[in-house]
Structure 1
Amino acid sequence: MTSIPLRLIAAAAMFACALAGQAATNPNDTVPSAPDVKTGKLANGLTYYIKQNGKPEKRLELRLVVRAGSVLEDEDQRGLAHFVEHMAFNGTTHFKRNDLVSYLQSIGVKFGNDLNAYTSFDETVYMLPIPTDKKENVETGFQVLEDWAHGIKFDDEAIDGERNIVLEEMRARGGVNERMLKAILPKMLNGSVYADRLPIGKEEVLKHFKYDAAKRFYRDWYRPDLMAVVAVGDIDPAEAEKLIQRHFAHLKNPAQPRPRLYPDIPARAGSESLVVTDKEAAANAVSIRYAIDKERRPATYADYRAELHESLVGFMLAQRVQELTQQAEPPFVNGFAGMLPAVTGYRAFSSFAVLGKGGAKPAIDALVQEVERARRFGFSAQELDRAKKTILRSYELAYQERDKTESAASINELVGAFLTRRPVGPGIAANYAQAQEWIPAATLEEINALAARMLPSHGQKLVVYQGNDKAEPPAPKEPELLALADAAEKRTVTRHEEKVLAAQLMEPPSRPGAIVAETVNQALGTTTLQLSNGVKVVLKPTDFKNDQVMMSGQRPGGQSLYGADDVYNARWASTLVANMGVKFSPLELQKMMAGKFAVAVPFMGELQEGMFGYAGASDLEAMLQQAHLLFTRPRRDEDLFRSFIGKQRDLARTSLSNPDVVFNDVSIATLYNNDPRVERPARVEDFDHVQLDRALAIFHERFGSARDFTFFIVGSFDVEATKKLAATYLGSLPVTDVTVAYKDLGIRPVKGVVKKDVYKGSESKSVVTFTFTGEAPYSEDAWLRQNAMVEILNIKINEVLREKLGLIYSGQMSAELHKKPYGRYHVAVNLPCAPENTGKVADAMLDLIRTIQQRGPEAGDLAKVRENWLVKHRSDMRENGHWLNALGISHLNGQDPASILTFEQRAAAVTPADVQAAAKRYFDFGNYVQMTLYPEAKQVANQAQAAH
């Protein structure tokens, strides 16, 4: 006799009631907001949203949302909405300059990753995650939000110091994408004020604005009637509400507040075109944007039902556009067509394509005709059935995970509700109930009628070409571009043809495997199966998610087993198979998987091959079937091979026009002495060396036998049922003789001190990088000490190079420690800066390294790093992905996986002396590569100076 948990019975009863209640509603009734979200408004107009959420445990996500951004700036304030955001971290009523960041780091909140903010056209949002294990942390968190709301100091010295940092941010953002955006926005937004108010602002204003200009923006727009406080996480809502009232009820609005207006986007008088080219553009693309409309603010049941129906149309159209890329000679590399947001309160139907070798014409033809085909003839019953299954499954997945959704994800909906001035949604339980009723009831006739109304025909439009100024074929002229779209609209279209799909993915293997041994590790919560074909499977059931299973499989070997003639065939073998499919084409498989959440993909790295997979709990068998087919039924498809190789050539053709790509390419070549076996950014000629049959033969060699493969399955599954499925699909994999070892190819970094300058790009921007490499033994404790060293130096990069010296906006150090193919380390530093400051930046960075070598780290910095480790680790230990990765790495390195459980003790044992020793080991001043990127103008100036 089986028993059903009472919680499931209760949930089913509640769900049935929701459905029954929904059936009786009037379509024009307002949909009630989610019952688990507490909303309110203080007397001063400040809005608040509170939701108790237990994932992650002992963590609270806080947001201060200000409905004010760059569109509200006066002419002398261009860029100051964003500047004010920066000043929030430079001194407030309760925190001196830099004290806020230091305090938050001390409780495990990492600046940039956790603690952050952003400014856009219409809003500024401050993000603060707070550990709740100590009550004072929560109190301080709300105090920080209050300080941001009305207590930013704006000291003159702090303002002047921050000017350099914001100007460095502007420099870092500058480049081809920024230049193209500035050229396109005025046309795209049809002369709206938005087009002239990019949040980064104007350089002249940022350099010379008067102190009061920033203060004025803060006074005018940071006021309670334009603010919301959002709290989601492990907190009692009543406690959160008291804290909000205590910290925000006394805030006052200005006596004569400036009106908060939202600029209009004027309607386009007629069709237009725009061609924007740049010598640094890394790709060519076209877009067609139709009339911009005001967004609906859904409030009634009828509104939500209409949105759901629109999502069905959008899904089916996106599928058709994606299907075009699977042709042997696709009209574009990738593309999209559907409704997209423009700016707050507006949306437009848009289509977009990254161009292939045919250029603009085939892409425009395909986009226009595919939209017209759907508008005129609608969709098929099979397409609608797949869309219904897929979208309903997405609602089901969200419903299943409603108590396991991360607070950081849940909070976004509430922030969006305030910014778009729409009510809080009904919540996932009600959404799922509505979807269960409305999706199956949607008829093909009403969905096709909606498509006919929703999809644009021959209306006014803006056609944009953006790309490289040396593109082949060349960019069309603007009249020609518009003529291409007009001509495409006049072509005859025919109905979409739907192919018949197979009924199922595969029959169960005729000779399934069996479990011959089983080991349980109580401490880790794992069960290891030895299957009859020698394959091992490690099962780790969890309750971290309700509807998530993750899987990986691995074995030593990989690309290292192949010689120089096969470099490109081995590198692309697994990707080619993923793009040709297993038993079915990727498109057929995608259609067959409608309503299922299951994927398995192969990989072939330098030293190993394997696969990754994920599935919903009810779709685990489909994931294992796909994994089985990777080994037994990889497809050979000449059309898809040509399509894939053609698209890769198209992407590679202009990628080396981008200065950052060129700099990365030269840096890799310099570090590894131009070794052809080291992967660099792809070139067109690389794909001349990829041969279908040879690449497929390599895949068969490595995946035709599952000998010595180990698979890991982590997530929400029943162990006994999964044992049977593993034996059936993994235990039946073929096992023949195959090399189960990697080769050390002798690839080594350059020795000595190497310094090289690269001149590329038109913007006045530079990058300084350092790469320290060498041999060192691998251990988990050594990796931990190395990581402490890196994180402490990242703190110092922010404190010294950014805050004290004002030389950079952001910089980053990262490091790796490897056991195979030999014990080695790799420490990289990346520091974007002004060309005139490269020497200062390099010297300052090296001084930081020497200081930690000579004096060791400050105890407070190590404490900050350790606290962040613990906060992150405790959260990670409740994540399936973390366990999958940790078990896999332990197996790969031949170490005891029990070390996963000892992280906190090992982290606590790291001392300042350990970090100092790590700095001495991993920074060898006689062995590093220093690369510097300069703009091309710098080389010209150097040559002119040398000539004199």
Structure 2
Amino acid sequence: MRSAVLSALLLATTLAAQAGIQLDQTIPVGPQVKVGKLDNGLTYYIQKNGKPEKKLELRLVVRAGSILEDDDQLGLAHFVEHMAFNGSTHFKKHELVSYLQSIGVQFGADLNAYTSFDETVYILPIPTERRENIEKGFTVLHDWAQGVSFNAEDIDNERGIVLEEARLGKGASDRMNKVLLPKIFNGSRYAERLPIGKEEALKTFSHDALRRFYRDWYRPDLMAVVAVGDIDPAEAERLIRTHFGKLKNPANPRPRVSATIAPLQKSEGLVITDKEANTNSVYIRYPVQEDREDGTFREFRKGMVETLFSIMLNARLQELAQQPEPPFVGGGSAMSGLVRGYKSFSSAAVLGRGGVLPAIDTLVQENERARKLGFSEAELDRAKKNVMRNLEREFAEREKTDSHRYAAEYIRNFLDREPIPGIVNEHAYVRELMPTITLDEMNRYARETIPDHAQKLVVFMGSDKQDVPIPAPDALLAAAIKAEDLEVTVRKEQAVAASIMDKLPKAGRIVAETSDAKLGITTLTLSNGVKVMLKPTDFRNDQVLMAAARYGGRSLVDDADIHNARYANAIAATMGVNGHSPVELNKILAGKAAGANLALTNFTDSVTASAGSTDIETMLQLVHLKFTSVRRDEDLYKSFIGKQRELARNEISRPESVFRDELYTTLFNGHPRVSLTPRPADFDKVSLDRSLDLFKSRFGSAKGLTFVFVGSFDPDAIKPLLATYLASLPVTDIPVKYRDLKVRPVTGVVKKDVYAGKEQKSIISLNFTGTTRYSELEQMRFSAMLEVMNLRINEVLREKLGLIYGGGVSGSIDNVPYPNYLIGATLPTGPQNVDKVIAATMDEIRLLKEKGPDPADLNKVKQAWLINHTKSVRENGYWLARIQNALLKGTDLHSVLKYEEMVKSLTPAQVQAAAKRYFNTGNYVQVVLYPEKAVANAAPVSAPAAASTAD
């Protein structure tokens, strides 16, 4: 074995040297970023970047997380993160969030932070139109670094919020992970230092313990500042030196010691069950290895090999999942990271009807097949093509990549030593090194990476309410050991076609063309009556998006066929096209960036597709074939239905699913067309032929469709392709209107309590419905009303009362199938706080109706919208959605040019009027989830009640 490894390294070194790269050299930092270090040890990264415009992404990275907590500090690394938003040297409590909102930074969506085992990262995007915003942005980072106040009253107030956050994570997964993680981490410190902490510790920790964590670990030698975006690098460096140069390290700093994971001492089987588990799965984890990035070209090249290996091995497993009786719903194997500094080879699968044994056999045997017999040249060629195409797209977009992506790279460099040569250099390195990676080397890597009869942990996780027998721990382990010794044979590589189309369709013509200079849109009429709208942009260099929609959809299907209609899209997608299965299509399309999807929705037939700029023809071929030649494959159908039944079997066990079903059943009075959580019996009502017939009845014709293209394309170059692939689509006569099925919400005040789940968790859902008149201006007033309500919910229910961690209101106005609106408030909380949360929410609704919004709150909403709009109008997806929405709703697309004017014209009086109109407290549905044990209580927290209506 040692000789083989040495030979492989020598060969790799020789090949790389021929390519001009010395593998043992450290990869240099690219010229796109300035990396420096202050005298106190703080590292900084600075890059000027123009996308999005007028925005600066700031990050404070602290190499300290929950793994460093003392025994009296469980959960306090994360708690410190919370306190950073609760008062500091330059910002009193609530001032920071309020100030940032006033300049258009949204709390949660933009302003955020996270705590992990080994790090804490603060995220701060700053609009740069005003210089003082930038200065204050660095002041905020400075305060987070060493200026948090830790006021005693604020600490105690924050306990409730953090406990509510911890409550949100409770459930089947959390309960099972508490059994799994000590085994996964081999009894190491990681299993005892989950970032959320422990409930009792969060309730009782001392203020000094919290402050001690901050003093010990928030220090410049463990910090990095990242600044990427609209800023002069010299100015950024000056601001960093000014704000962070005087930060002090402790006189006697505590050693920052990494936690270790001991080797697995023996193989073991483990069974973990929970009646609320929504999937059954198997997981095989092999010995943990140290994973230390050294920043060399050798490590970089090894990463390329690892990527190719993972692609090839998992392509095989995905193919096996499409058998008529698949061994699992889905599965995969890979060498992957466990926690910082450690990785392991592992295999996992979501189980199907056959249970755990077929899944273990297949996972292990496919691993063994790759280890013993290797891969084929065709597999390696496809994997290389896919890697290179993705790299080419990144290279093409190098000047149009969002700043937050660069910021994430620099965070990984600081924490993991991931090289940052820049995409220009990385592109050159990969182009030189990829040809040096041979099949022999890949097969050696497989032999050395896939464990050979190694110690292992074999885990079954799933529901204990199944008709499939639950395996014993010893049986799990025995199955994995037995599978290692089963004979494997060479996997036969089936020949595939050179292209997805045998011959081109007979082309049509472009018969008319008009232009809209203001919007930069050209509209074409094709000879078959289909229309095309073209909006070429320079927002991206290698992205083309396409969509089309018309009315119809599942609304035209009778009740007896609704199950066939609901699964028609997925079944058709499972079949493939033009005689090619999905597996074959993936092989044919290796190295292409193109995809397409056709779908029946409730009221529309929709087409979506995307491509790289050089793959537009492939995208159009896929679209044409999905209209004209969907395959029929009984085996793939059986595989699909079997997997769906198995997924449905457990999903209904989740308390959230029970709650959702009761909510929609109550809200729409049990109407049969309202979609609920699938049951296994639903799939007895699905027919392959009927589902395909329904799909083809709509997509066998392109009548009434307008295809919208947005992105990096040349209109003159694309026109012949449109004539060939879209003008040739059939346009047989079909209805292109939706049918109103008279699905209407109940009226009056209806309340219902639902009991499900073990945990002390509640969810409150308040739903306001009614009729309205749709317009873009009314939609804007409606949305502003909701945004203001969310500001109030966060300020009062979270920050002031500590009753919730997250939650809020959302809603929509629509004119299909009738002019209507729906507002839904979702508020997770503890069962003991349900009545308080409802009362506080209703009080905020009352105040908004009586007094209107605080003008400062409305200005926060408007400022955030204007900043987001500046970014959105430079995105292809935004324009595609706007054009599609205008086509379907019949609105004036030119209103997009007046967006800023419309936003600025919004007044508090208009928002108040909207609140009076839409928050009708005489007409709403209230559904509350309580834990199931409340049913047995003599005096539940809130008395259970059947659904009731009050006029």
- With the shorter chain as reference, the TM-score category is over 0.9
Q: Does 1:318 align with 2:314?
A: yes
d(CA) in 2 for partners of 1:21, 1:89: 52
d(CA) in 1 for partners of 2:321, 2:728: 35
Segment drifting more, 448-457 vs 45-54: 448-457
Equivalent residue, structure 2, for 1:892: 888
Equivalent residue, structure 2, for 1:727: 723
How far did residue 515 of structure 1 move?
A: 0.4
Equivalent residue, structure 2, for 1:835: 831
Aligned positions of 1:689-708 closer than 5 A: 689-708=685-704
d(CA) in 2 for partners of 1:857, 1:228: 40
Equivalent residue, structure 2, for 1:636: 632
Q: Does 1:872 align with 2:875?
A: no
**Structure 2: runs of 5+ lacking an equivalent:** 1-14, 945-951
d(CA) in 2 for partners of 1:826, 1:925: 13
How far did residue 304 of structure 1 move?
A: 1.3
- Partner amino acid, structure 2, of 1:838: V
Equivalent residue, structure 2, for 1:243: 239
d(CA) in 1 for partners of 2:221, 2:23: 32
| Cα deviation 1:70-127 (Å, max 9, x = unaligned) | 1111111111110000000000000000110000000000001100001111111000
Equivalent residue, structure 2, for 1:7: none
Contact 1:768 1:931 in 2 (8 A): yes
Contact 1:109 1:115 in 2 (8 A): yes
Secondary structure of residue in 1 paired with 2:72: helix
How far did residue 868 of structure 1 move?
A: 0.3
Aligned positions of 1:380-395 closer than 5 A: 380-395=376-391
Equivalent residue, structure 2, for 1:146: 142
d(CA) in 1 for partners of 2:94, 2:787: 18
| Cα deviation 1:627-650 (Å, max 9, x = unaligned) | 000110011111111111111110
Segment drifting more, 872-881 vs 174-183: 174-183
Contact 2:767 2:822 in 1 (8 A): yes
CA distance change for structure 1 residues 22 and 492 in 2, over 3 Å: closer, same or farther?
closer
| Cα deviation 1:248-272 (Å, max 9, x = unaligned) | 0000000000000001100011211
Q: Does 1:182 align with 2:178?
A: yes
Contact 2:118 2:340 in 1 (8 A): yes
| Cα deviation 1:472-501 (Å, max 9, x = unaligned) | 312211111111111111211111111110
Contact 1:769 1:930 in 2 (8 A): yes
Equivalent residue, structure 1, for 2:64: 68
d(CA) in 1 for partners of 2:528, 2:214: 69
Secondary structure of residue in 1 paired with 2:101: helix
How far did residue 165 of structure 1 move?
A: 0.6
d(CA) in 2 for partners of 1:857, 1:944: 36
1:845 to 841, 846, 859: 841
d(CA) in 1 for partners of 2:374, 2:129: 55
- Partner amino acid, structure 1, of 2:25: D
Aligned positions of 1:424-435 closer than 5 A: 424-435=419-430
Contact 1:59 1:131 in 2 (8 A): yes
d(CA) in 1 for partners of 2:930, 2:900: 44
Q: Does 1:739 align with 2:735?
A: yes
Aligned positions of 1:133-532 closer than 5 A: 133-420=129-416, 422=417, 424-507=419-502, 509-532=504-527
- Partner amino acid, structure 2, of 1:501: V
d(CA) in 1 for partners of 2:358, 2:545: 40
Equivalent residue, structure 2, for 1:10: none
Secondary structure of residue in 2 paired with 1:117: strand
| Cα deviation 1:701-740 (Å, max 9, x = unaligned) | 1011111111111111111111111111001001111111
Contact 2:27 2:419 in 1 (8 A): no
Aligned positions of 1:616-695 closer than 5 A: 616-695=612-691
Segment drifting more, 934-943 vs 391-400: 934-943
Aligned positions of 1:111-126 closer than 5 A: 111-126=107-122
Equivalent residue, structure 1, for 2:567: 572
CA distance change for structure 1 residues 22 and 298 in 2, over 3 Å: closer, same or farther?
farther
Contact 1:33 1:423 in 2 (8 A): no
How far did residue 21 of structure 1 move?
A: 11
Secondary structure of residue in 2 paired with 1:370: helix
- Partner amino acid, structure 1, of 2:439: L
d(CA) in 2 for partners of 1:439, 1:38: 28
Secondary structure of residue in 2 paired with 1:77: coil
d(CA) in 1 for partners of 2:372, 2:426: 31
d(CA) in 1 for partners of 2:931, 2:452: 45
> TM-score, normalization: structure 2?
0.96
Equivalent residue, structure 2, for 1:563: 558
Secondary structure of residue in 2 paired with 1:130: strand
Equivalent residue, structure 2, for 1:9: none
Secondary structure of residue in 2 paired with 1:333: strand
Q: Which runs of 4+ in 1 moved over 4 A?
A: 19-22, 943-947
> TM-score, normalization: structure 1?
0.97
Equivalent residue, structure 2, for 1:715: 711
Q: Does 1:806 align with 2:802?
A: yes
CA distance change for structure 1 residues 804 and 510 in 2, over 3 Å: closer, same or farther?
closer
Aligned positions of 1:899-910 closer than 5 A: 899-910=895-906
d(CA) in 2 for partners of 1:100, 1:510: 61
Secondary structure of residue in 2 paired with 1:816: strand
- Partner amino acid, structure 1, of 2:556: L
CA distance change for structure 1 residues 942 and 602 in 2, over 3 Å: closer, same or farther?
farther
| Cα deviation 1:246-295 (Å, max 9, x = unaligned) | 00000000000000000110001121121110111011100001111111
Q: Does 1:608 align with 2:604?
A: yes
| Cα deviation 1:35-84 (Å, max 9, x = unaligned) | 11100110000011111111101111111000001111111111111000
Secondary structure of residue in 2 paired with 1:384: helix
How far did residue 510 of structure 1 move?
A: 4.0
Equivalent residue, structure 2, for 1:536: 531
Contact 1:541 1:719 in 2 (8 A): yes
Aligned positions of 1:546-561 closer than 5 A: 546-561=541-556
CA distance change for structure 1 residues 679 and 702 in 2, over 3 Å: closer, same or farther?
same
RMSD: 1.4
| Cα deviation 1:754-808 (Å, max 9, x = unaligned) | 1000000111111111011111111101110000000000000000000111111
d(CA) in 2 for partners of 1:550, 1:20: 39
d(CA) in 1 for partners of 2:444, 2:165: 48
Equivalent residue, structure 2, for 1:12: none
| Cα deviation 1:545-579 (Å, max 9, x = unaligned) | 11011111111110000111111111111221011
Segment drifting more, 899-908 vs 625-634: 899-908
How far did residue 507 of structure 1 move?
A: 4.5
d(CA) in 1 for partners of 2:311, 2:292: 19
Contact 2:19 2:433 in 1 (8 A): no
Equivalent residue, structure 1, for 2:7: none
Q: Does 1:920 align with 2:916?
A: yes
Contact 2:16 2:436 in 1 (8 A): no
d(CA) in 1 for partners of 2:930, 2:648: 23
| Cα deviation 1:889-947 (Å, max 9, x = unaligned) | 11010111111221111111111111011111111111110010000111111479999
CA distance change for structure 1 residues 22 and 162 in 2, over 3 Å: closer, same or farther?
farther
Contact 1:554 1:610 in 2 (8 A): yes
CA distance change for structure 1 residues 22 and 37 in 2, over 3 Å: closer, same or farther?
farther
**Number of residue pairs aligned between Structure 1 and Structure 2:** 928
Contact 2:295 2:419 in 1 (8 A): no
CA distance change for structure 1 residues 222 and 510 in 2, over 3 Å: closer, same or farther?
closer
Equivalent residue, structure 2, for 1:15: none
1:822 to 818, 822, 840: 818
